Structure 1
Amino acid sequence: MISSYLKAGKIVSKVRDDASKLIKDGMPVLELVNHVEGSIRSEGSEPAFPCNVSINDVTAHYTSPPGDKTLIKEGDLVKLDLGAHVDGFIADTAITVAVGDADERCYVMMDAAREALEDALATIRAGVEVGEIGRVIEEKIHSHGMKPVANLTGHSMDRWILHSGLSIPNITERNPHLLEEGDVLAIEPFATDGVGLVTDMPETHIFRFLRDRPLRLVHARRVLGRIKEEYHALPFAQRWLEEYFEPKRLNASMRMLIQSRAIYPYHVLREKSGALVAQWEHTVIVEKDGCTVITE
């Protein structure tokens, strides 16, 4: 188990660092996500979820839909969030890149999120209250004159489960739950100069298997079977399924699967006031006197 976590962490660290150097004005987002996901596979693992490329006020859950024409532009603040798994053991990491001649506030936000992550990691050990991590993150982000995003959190992970029940806050809150040795956590501060809240957008490009359901369409049953077999309970992108299914029929089946609650759609999230957001993230394994960061 530990060796699988370490292998997944090493892979996503390498892919993250390599991909962050490719981000530039005029780059198609679809090219970036395909590069990241392809690199994860070529390194000997599988994506734990679709590569997220969230730009400016878009905060999370954006991955390219089929045929995406979105381009990265000069001055954009790009959040690159990626994960890999080895036999279901997951490593999750994120970085923010300012493209070209970005506004100075972008760099302040980036510093706030990165330093908040560093302070949080220095706090983690067995026996620490979860609420203490949120306090440390919020204080560091406030020290830069920014706000944490209050309704986004880090999370615990388990085999084949990206969000396994424990939320790690980015703000001060009373949470006396104590970390335990062996916990696997994704710590991910978000910093903004907006109101510090995210809201749903209409778009959904990432999905997750929920349950088997009685379905009228044979094609929808086939799609659901493929999803269950290929991705277990991990998030996936519709564009991944186009390798197996014709796009027009796939669209109809996906609508049915959502309506029947066989799969869960993740809405793209944006900062409520339209402000820029920066993100930094590492995965850690909690130890008695500290933690091992597997995505450094």
Structure 2
Amino acid sequence: MSEEDDYFRAGEALSAILDRWQSKIKEGMSLISIAEDIEKEITEMGMKPAFPVNLSMNEIAAHYTPFPSDRSYVQRGSVLKLDVGIVLNGCIVDAARTICFSDSYKKMSDVAKEAFYEAVRVMKPGARIMDVSRAIYERIKNEGMKPIKNLAGHKITKYKLHSGIDVPNYPSLSLYKLKPGDVFAVEPFVTTQEGEGIVLNDNRTYIFSFKRNVRTSSSLEKTLMRLAQKQFMGLPFCERWVKKEMGKDLAGKDTAQLLKGLAKKGGLYDYPVLVEARGMPVAQYENTVMITEDGAVILTEKS
């Protein structure tokens, strides 16, 4: 099969998963059960998660994935961002939905979705990223909401979730012009007028990815770097995945501290939990889009 076929297959699978879990997730459900069940579904389809399932609640905008002993659950009256990725033969798709357990969040969620479609309407060969960003920003602003300025969509290439070209949700000076074959994740993040409109790093970090091999005398650190580079294909991973792969080798070890230590040494990238600066709730709507001669095709949503 062609690379394009792989993108479409992965996108169709991710669309089905998101549709199913949007209605399946209920208040009181365990976050770790949700994440592990979704990751298992992806694997059973003959594909792999492109990153750990993100379940970011309320003011948490992104990068929250459950850790091994996590007892967190879907809170009553919360707003939950479900962000999932699939990789098939190196072709990555990435999409997110916001699930509202209170009507007070519905408009914010709707605005994120509407801003996504405004972006897609602009996306065609020759269109500039700055025009796409402006479309997102203006829709959010006109609805009396705020975009998250320092979160952005991103270009995707084989085995690379973030390939160096961003799609900001705020006016941008990017002159990059879209061309046929480009694949982008477009993801408006929206908060209330009371929000700061930016996210800050929290003191929690649960997601990592391979950066480079660093010199170490620790056999465990060497194994972790090899795992990050080979088994996880350089893509984001988490402590849960490491424990499943390494099992007994980690007996009595603090895996979280091992990962954080390796990140400090420069062997891993770390992705702290991102929180709205004023603690306001955040909504997100994301799909992966492929540019064709005729415009943009949404890969991760039923047509």
Scaled by the length of structure 2, the TM-score of the pair is 0.94
Question: What aligned pairs does 1:123-162 form with structure 2 within 5 A after superposition?
Answer: 123-162=122-161
What is the aligned partner in structure 1 of residue 83 from structure 2? 81
After superposition, the C-alpha distances for 1:213-240 in whole angstroms (9 at most, x for unaligned) are 1112112111221222111221001110
5+ long unaligned stretches in structure 1: none
Aligned CA-pair RMSD: 1.2
What is the aligned partner in structure 2 of residue 7 from structure 1? 9
What is the aligned partner in structure 2 of residue 253 from structure 1? 258
1:247 Cα offset (Å)? 5.2
Residue 262 of structure 2 aligns with an amino acid whose one-letter code is L
After superposition, the C-alpha distances for 1:36-70 in whole angstroms (9 at most, x for unaligned) are 11111112210000000000000000000111111
After superposition, the C-alpha distances for 1:98-143 in whole angstroms (9 at most, x for unaligned) are 12xx142x01101100000111111100100100011111111112
* Bigger Cα displacement from structure 2, 155-164 vs 253-262: 253-262
1:281 aligns with 2:280: no
Question: What aligned pairs does 1:99-178 form with structure 2 within 5 A after superposition?
Answer: 99=101, 102-104=102-104, 106-178=105-177
Q: In the aligned structure 1, how far is the partner of 2:144 from the partner of 2:51?
A: 32
* Residue of structure 2 aligned with 1:265, choices 266, 270, 276: 270
**Matched-pair contact (CA < 8 Å) for 2:169–2:189:** yes
- Structure 1 runs of 4+ with >6 Å offset: none
CA 1:41 to 1:139, structure 2 compared with 1: closer, same or farther past 3 Å? same
1:19 aligns with 2:21: yes
**Matched-pair contact (CA < 8 Å) for 2:228–2:235:** no
1:40 aligns with 2:42: yes
What is the aligned partner in structure 2 of residue 290 from structure 1? 295
Scaled by the length of structure 1, the TM-score of the pair is 0.96
Residue 156 of structure 1 aligns with an amino acid whose one-letter code is K
Residue 65 of structure 1 aligns with an amino acid whose one-letter code is F
1:256 Cα offset (Å)? 3.2
* Bigger Cα displacement from structure 2, 256-265 vs 4-13: 256-265
**Matched-pair contact (CA < 8 Å) for 1:220–1:256:** no
1:187 aligns with 2:186: yes
Residue 254 of structure 1 aligns with an amino acid whose one-letter code is L
After superposition, the C-alpha distances for 1:1-40 in whole angstroms (9 at most, x for unaligned) are 0011111101111111111112211111101111111111
Q: In the aligned structure 1, how far is the partner of 2:4 from the partner of 2:173?
A: 31
5+ long unaligned stretches in structure 2: none
- The percent identity for this pair of structures is 34
* Bigger Cα displacement from structure 2, 175-184 vs 57-66: 175-184
1:255 Cα offset (Å)? 3.6
Residue 176 of structure 2 aligns with an amino acid whose one-letter code is H
CA 1:45 to 1:153, structure 2 compared with 1: closer, same or farther past 3 Å? same
CA 1:187 to 1:251, structure 2 compared with 1: closer, same or farther past 3 Å? closer
After superposition, the C-alpha distances for 1:235-292 in whole angstroms (9 at most, x for unaligned) are 0011101112325423453243122111111000000011011000010111123111
CA 1:25 to 1:247, structure 2 compared with 1: closer, same or farther past 3 Å? farther
**Matched-pair contact (CA < 8 Å) for 1:24–1:73:** no
Residue 97 of structure 2 aligns with an amino acid whose one-letter code is I
